[in-house]
Structure 1
Amino acid sequence: MNLLIDTSVWSEALRRKNKSVNSEDTFLFQIIKNEEEIFLTGIILQEILTGIKNQKLFDEINDHLRFFNFINPTNKDHILAAQLRNDLAKKGITVASIDVLIAQMAISNNLTLATYDSDFEKIAANSKLRILNFNQYYIKK
């Protein structure tokens, strides 16, 4: 499965207290264990690295993340994301512009978005976005 991994999933694994990053109870661990194709984008990379004050840890995480597939938004993605956000707003659904762009990039690149963020559920219910949460994934495997 080709997965765009949302910040919420990275954060669960990278910012755990008193547990190993490789803990089997993390969504990311299960995805890596099952050798899924993992994709990353600039805004998610930025969100992952933001707030890491320890430079050694920052550099270490950044170094590991460079091995994943990287996608960039196109001008068309930005336009389609704006249209999608406008369509959602007409239905009374408010979501962050950046989340709609992430969703649009997943749609455009035929990726499933692995996430814990309920805003993406709203987007998926009103678009072609495919999402996957840990419970769905864990049951499938």
Structure 2
Amino acid sequence: MKVIVDTSVWSLALRRNPPQDEIPSVKVLRDLIADGRVVLLGAIRQEVLSGVRHTEQFIRLRDYLRAFPDLTIETKDYELAAEFFNTCRRNGIQGSNIDFLICAVAHNRGYTILTTDNDFQNFQSCIPIILY
């Protein structure tokens, strides 16, 4: 099964000076990459690349991420993301548009989501997503 890897995990894995071997989600990401199961959305790519201060570091990171093609997002994904947003909001749960887009894409394709962001656990109480 394919897995959409959220920005929170990419950020941990791609830090310049982390103790990466101690972070469980980074180990999982490495295994998923080795198995060819990682899915990347353009919006996640943008989040990961945003805020990189040094041009050389940006270029290295950009080039590394180019190994993962962006999944094509369809109209039905955006529509479901809006439905998920509205459902969660009615239940008092807030989230970002990108997070709900991740949820919609995962749901529409039967993918799981790898994240360290606890918001997704809150979403799970209202919408049908599967966390890795």
Could you state the TM-score of these two structures normalised by the residue count of structure 2?
0.87
User: What is the CA-CA distance between 1:64 and the residue it aligns to?
Assistant: 1.1
User: What is the CA-CA distance between 1:18 and the residue it aligns to?
Assistant: 5.2
User: What is the CA-CA distance between 1:75 and the residue it aligns to?
Assistant: 1.1
Following the alignment from structure 1 to structure 2, what is the Cα–Cα distance between the partners of residues 5 and 61?
Answer: 16
SS in 1 for 2:113: strand
User: What is the CA-CA distance between 1:5 and the residue it aligns to?
Assistant: 0.4
Q: Which residue of 1 aligns with 2:127?
A: 127
Q: Which residue of 1 aligns with 2:28?
A: 30
Q: Show structure 2 runs of 5+ residues with no match.
A: none
Q: Which residue of 2 aligns with 1:13?
A: 13
Q: Which structure shows the higher strand fraction? A: 1
Q: Show structure 1 runs of 5+ residues with no match.
A: 133-141
Following the alignment from structure 1 to structure 2, what is the Cα–Cα distance between the partners of residues 18 and 123?
Answer: 29
Contact persistence 2:112–2:130 (CA under 8 A) = yes
**Cα separation, partners in 2 of 1:127 and 1:59, compared to 1, 3 Å:** same
Deviates more, 1:3-12 or 1:33-42: 33-42
Following the alignment from structure 1 to structure 2, what is the Cα–Cα distance between the partners of residues 59 and 111?
Answer: 29
SS in 2 for 1:122: helix
Contact persistence 1:24–1:30 (CA under 8 A) = no
Following the alignment from structure 1 to structure 2, what is the Cα–Cα distance between the partners of residues 111 and 83?
Answer: 18
Report Cα offsets for 1:89-122 as digits up to 9, x if no partner.
1112121222111111111122110001111111
Q: Quote the RMSD (CA, aligned, Å).
A: 1.7
Could you state the TM-score of these two structures normalised by the residue count of structure 1?
0.82
Q: Which residue of 1 aligns with 2:80?
A: 80
Following the alignment from structure 2 to structure 1, what is the Cα–Cα distance between the partners of residues 127 and 47?
Answer: 24
Following the alignment from structure 2 to structure 1, what is the Cα–Cα distance between the partners of residues 31 and 89?
Answer: 38
Following the alignment from structure 1 to structure 2, what is the Cα–Cα distance between the partners of residues 81 and 18?
Answer: 33
Q: Which has the higher contact order (CA 8 A, sep 6+)?
A: 2
User: What is the CA-CA distance between 1:83 and the residue it aligns to?
Assistant: 1.1
User: What is the CA-CA distance between 1:24 and the residue it aligns to?
Assistant: 2.1
Following the alignment from structure 1 to structure 2, what is the Cα–Cα distance between the partners of residues 84 and 30?
Answer: 27
* Counterpart mapping for 1:60-99 below 5 A: 60-99=60-99
Identity %: 32
Contact persistence 1:4–1:111 (CA under 8 A) = yes
Q: Which residue of 2 aligns with 1:117?
A: 117
Following the alignment from structure 1 to structure 2, what is the Cα–Cα distance between the partners of residues 62 and 18?
Answer: 19
